[in-house]
Chains A and B, each alone.
Chain A
Amino acid sequence: MSAATGTLDRRAAVKALLADRGDLLVISGLGSSSYDVFDAGEHSGNFYLWGAMGGAAMVGLGLALAQPKRPVLVVTGDGEQLMGIGSLLTIATKQPGNLSIAVLDNGHFGETGMQPSHSGLGAKLEVIASGAGIGNVSDIADMAGIERFRASLRDLGGGPRLARIRIAAGEVERALPPRDGAYLKNRFRGHLGFKVS
């Protein structure tokens, strides 16, 4: 159980991941992942999920297929990805080279009282992703690994990628992004040059 527990500070890890982001588009999963992405720097190319538990990777897939020339990064947690675990198989069938998934894995359901998750109880998300057919997987436990992953994101032919990022399980102060879904949608589409109808 303790094997899954990491030491990386989630805020520092996500901030490093999004440094010099260029034309990166980011989808963040429900819960702390959305707070982390917001805390790293507000950006109109961010779409924060405040619901849709289990759906972050699939929002990322639909976006990646629609925008094949832009790198797309899904930042989510182990619990959120576990609820949509089948989406890893679906993503693998399409092999979108521009899609990357960063799973912030603290082995717990952090938003709901820190119950141990399947990941904390032994499941290995990067191995599951590999078995699903995602060829480019990594298990990251230090900032050097984060830097290597960040540098790979702009290679549009290298995905799909999944990185399990071992973060510490401690509580972090909340940083709350906007919650209005229609606003976030229109802002994101505006970033890509689509007008509000």
Chain B
Amino acid sequence: MDQIAAHQDSATSTDWPVAIYRTLKSFGVAQVSYVPDAGHSKLIKLSHADAGIKTTVLTTEEEGVAMVAGAWLGGDRAVLLMQSSGVGNCVNMLSLMASCRFPLLTLVTMRGEWAEFNPWQIPMGRATPQALEIMGTTVLRLENPDDAEEVISAAASLAYDGDQQVAVLISQRMIGRKKWTKETH
């Protein structure tokens, strides 16, 4: 059953990271920073392979918020990639973005919602939208792989042209069920 579900997920979602990458390129994104997440792995690979994007691995997500601010000061558009568990780490650093009206575009892969098997992921997953919203960050949802370009494009315009802080929450349903072991179960 899980195998079938995973197969269906990957069949529908193969190209959405590519769609996101192309959209970010069309907006002239020059810096990408990330805390790794399986759901972002393809986008991270594409970013590292692109000589036109400076790609940086972080030790914790709030580093990326500060880095996005510095990039903007220097004229670079930046994107921050993380998993929902990292959103809580960013709360105070989001003050920087609100106080200075720095654009922020962050793409957050969700855990703790669709078919989550690990109860420890659920509290932060459930609190993710509110944790962003209490700091003034606009939350958009990406639920369907076919909407990737449209949603990322809308978020990028809001951020870079509207000087807003914007998070796109990428549904766990798009990422597929996590395979806990190599054996099927």
Q: Which residues of A contact B (CB under 8 A)?
A: 27, 47, 49-56, 58-67, 84, 86-87, 89-90, 93-94, 181-182, 184-185, 188-189, 192, 194, 197
Contacts and interface: CB of A to CB of B under 8 A. Distances in A.
Contacts of A84: 63, 66
What 7 A-B pairs have minimum CB-CB distances, sorted nearest first? A62-B70, A66-B74, A55-B66, A181-B100, A86-B59, A58-B66, A62-B71
Contacts of B101: 181-182, 185
Contacts of B54: 65, 94
23 contacts: A51-B96, A51-B99, A52-B92, A54-B66, A54-B93, A55-B69, A59-B69, A61-B56, A61-B70, A62-B31, A62-B69, A62-B72, A62-B74, A63-B71, A65-B56, A65-B76, A86-B63, A90-B56, A90-B63, A185-B73, A185-B101, A192-B73, A197-B163
Q: Is the interface of A mostly helix, strand, loop or mixed?
A: helix
A54 B63 CA distance: 8
A64 B93 CA distance: 20
B119 interface: no
Nearest to A61: B67
B44 interface: no
Contacts of A185: 72-73, 100-102
Interface residues on B, range: 20 to 34
Contacts of A61: 56, 67, 70
B168 interface: no
B58 A49 contact: no
B95 interface: yes
Contact of B73 (A93, A189, A197): A189
B163 A90 contact: no
Contacts of B57: 90, 93
A66 B71 contact: yes
B78 interface: yes
Contacts of A181: 96, 99-101
B66 A86 contact: no
A188 B101 CA distance: 14
A28 B156 CA distance: 29
Residue among A27, A59, A63, A182 facing the most chain B CB atoms (10 A cut-off): A59
A54 B91 CA distance: 13
Contacts of A189: 72-73, 75
A46 B164 CA distance: 23
A194 to B, nearest CB: 6
A189 B163 CA distance: 14
Residue among B30, B75, B163 facing the most chain A CB atoms (10 A cut-off): B75
B91 to A, nearest CB: 12
B161 interface: yes
Interface string B65-88: 111111111111010000000000
Residue among A49, A66, A181 facing the most chain B CB atoms (10 A cut-off): A66
A47 B99 CA distance: 13
A37 B65 CA distance: 23
A66 to B, nearest CB: 3
B70 A188 contact: no
A108 to B, nearest CB: 22
B100 to A, nearest CB: 3
Nearest to A47: B73
